[in-house]
Chain A
Amino acid sequence: MNASGDAILVADRIAVRFDTAEGPITAVDDVSFKVRPGEFLSLIGPSGCGKSTLFNVIGGLLSQHDGIVSVAGETISGPHKSIGMVFQEESTFPWRNVTDNVAFPLELVGMPRDKRIERARRFISLVGLDGFENRYPGELSGGMRQRVALARTLASEPKILLMDEPFAALDEQTRLLLGDKVLQIQQQLKQTTLLITHNITEAVQMSDRILVMTYRPGRVKRIVDIDLPRPRSSAVVTSEAFGRYVAEIWNDLREEASRGMRDEESQVLHHHGSAP
Chain B
Amino acid sequence: MSQAASRTSIAASAPRATGLMTLLVALLLTELLIQAGLINRFIVPPPSEVAKAFYRIVAQEHVFRRFLSTAAECFAAGVMLTLAGVSAGLLMQRFTLLQRAVETWVASIAAAPLVIMYPLFLVIFGRNALTIIMMGFISGLPPAILKTIEGISATRKVLINVGRSFNLTATQQFWKILFPAALPTIFVGVRLGLVFALINVVGTEFLISYGGLGALIADLAERYDLAGTYAAICFVILVSVLFFLALEKIERWLRPVD
Interface residues in chain A, defined as those with a beta carbon under 8 Å from any beta carbon in chain B: 59-61, 78-81, 83-85, 87, 89-91, 93-95, 97, 104-105, 108, 136, 138-139, 156
Q: Which chain A positions have C-beta within 8 A of B222? A: none
Q: Which chain B positions have C-beta within 8 A of A136? A: 256-257
Q: Is the CB of A93 within 8 A of B161?
A: no
Q: How far is the CA of A95 from the CA of B253 in the complex (A)?
A: 11
Please tell me if B167 contacts chain A, counting CB pairs below 8 Å.
yes
Look across to chain B and name the residue whose beta carbon is closest to the beta carbon of A109.
B166
Q: Which chain A positions have C-beta within 8 A of B180? A: 93, 95
Q: How far is the CA of A81 from the CA of B168 in the complex (A)?
A: 11
Given contacts A89-B156, A91-B158, contact A156 B258 (CB under 8 A): no
Q: Is the CB of A87 within 8 A of B158?
A: yes
Q: How far is the CA of A93 from the CA of B168 in the complex (A)?
A: 15
Please tell me if B153 contacts chain A, counting CB pairs below 8 Å.
no
Q: Is the CB of B183 within 8 A of A87?
A: no
CB distance from A71 to the nearest CB of B (A): 13
Q: Is the CB of A95 within 8 A of B181?
A: yes
Q: Is the CB of B161 within 8 A of A87?
A: yes
Q: Which chain B positions have C-beta within 8 A of A139? A: 257
Task: Name the residue among B162, B172, B177 with the largest chain A CB count within 10 angstroms.
Answer: B162
Please tell me if B41 contacts chain A, counting CB pairs below 8 Å.
no
Q: How far is the CA of A144 from the CA of B144 in the complex (A)?
A: 35
Please tell me if B255 contacts chain A, counting CB pairs below 8 Å.
yes
Q: Which of B159-179 contact A (CB under 8 A)?
A: 159, 161-162, 164-168, 172, 176-177
Given contacts A87-B161, A89-B156, A90-B158, contact A81 B256 (CB under 8 A): no
Look across to chain A and name the residue whose beta carbon is closest to the beta carbon of B157.
A89
CB distance from A25 to the nearest CB of B (A): 20
Given contacts A89-B156, A91-B162, contact A108 B172 (CB under 8 A): yes
Q: Which chain A positions have C-beta within 8 A of B258? A: 94-95, 138
Given contacts A94-B258, A95-B257, contact A79 B158 (CB under 8 A): no
Q: Which chain A positions have C-beta within 8 A of B172? A: 108
Q: Is the CB of B183 within 8 A of A95?
A: yes
11 pairs across A/B with beta carbons < 8 Å?
Answer: A61-B164, A78-B167, A85-B161, A85-B165, A87-B161, A90-B158, A91-B158, A95-B255, A95-B257, A108-B167, A156-B166
CB distance from A156 to the nearest CB of B (A): 7
Look across to chain B and name the residue whose beta carbon is closest to the beta carbon of A138.
B257
Q: How far is the CA of A105 from the CA of B167 in the complex (A)?
A: 10
Q: How far is the CA of A85 from the CA of B166 in the complex (A)?
A: 9
Q: How far is the CA of A79 from the CA of B160 in the complex (A)?
A: 13
